[in-house]
Amino acid sequence: MIYVRNKAEALDAVASVLALPERRQQIVQLTVRIAMCLDSEARSFLADCQAGLIESGLESMRKRRHELLAAHQEEAPEAIVILDSTEDQLLEQVGMALDTLRLSEIVRQVFPAIREKHAAWEVARTFLAAEEEVRKVMVEAVRAHGSGDSKTYERCRAEMERRIGAATPTWMATLPTLEAACAEVAPGDPHLLASIAVDDMRADLVVDLLAHKREEALDYLETVKQRIDTLHSLESSSNG
């Protein structure tokens, strides 16, 4: 068995796994690749590919997140106060936003041209708009990457570019305002802006608050940042 040492090798491993005819084989073989991965970032990428391309996508990621929350509550209930996403809808919403951002990295890894042109949150919006269709395009693209089928690869890239364009938000002109506010609350952290920008309701809320009640807008952004930190801390503890 060849060890996986980086995300490029991880993508090649996913392509070889998706070439297998049966889903059960794919899951088993990708699980083996994850176990043989020497790099933590590549290992996370492989796990996201398994959830996003072979299992049930965002639903698989949601279940994994809920299992981590439940396990942490049982092991160290005093460590994280907010645990029940049925009671804290913002935690659930932020969790889904982070999940879509993880799936967007599959697209950005498969298509370097898209990675150079579009932010992760722009790609993530396509999963929220039509997850099943996007997943099908990406499975085909990864297989084409593995087989060297440049015609299919380029067709899939063009389709993803089209979907990203179709998901462009109506509030795009106010992006600099959002960026500045997020940078004020969480300097150097790209996840806050991304978690706001993937969802039009959150983005419109923040833009409106910034125009009329700036302090409330910053307070809201701070609460989103707290949920992001909670979920990142949970993920780190589970990987440790």
User: Can you give the residue ranges of every domain in the chain?
Assistant: 7-61+89-166, 172-233
**What average pLDDT score do residues 121-133 get?**
97
Encode pLDDT of 38-76 as tens digits: 999 999 999 999 999 999 999 999 998 888 888 876 665
Instruction: Give residue for tokens 């997850």.
Output: 131
DSSP conformation class of 50: I
- The answer to whether residues 26 and 34 touch, using CB atoms and an 8 Å cutoff, is no
Give the whole-angstrom CA distance, residue 128 versus residue 125. Answer: 5
| The pLDDT of residue 41 | 92
Reference 139, options 114, 160, 169; nearest CA is 160
Residue 98 has pLDDT above 70, yes or no: yes
CB count in 10 Å sphere of residue 179: 14
In this structure, are residues 59 and 224 in contact, taking their beta carbons and an 8 Å threshold? no
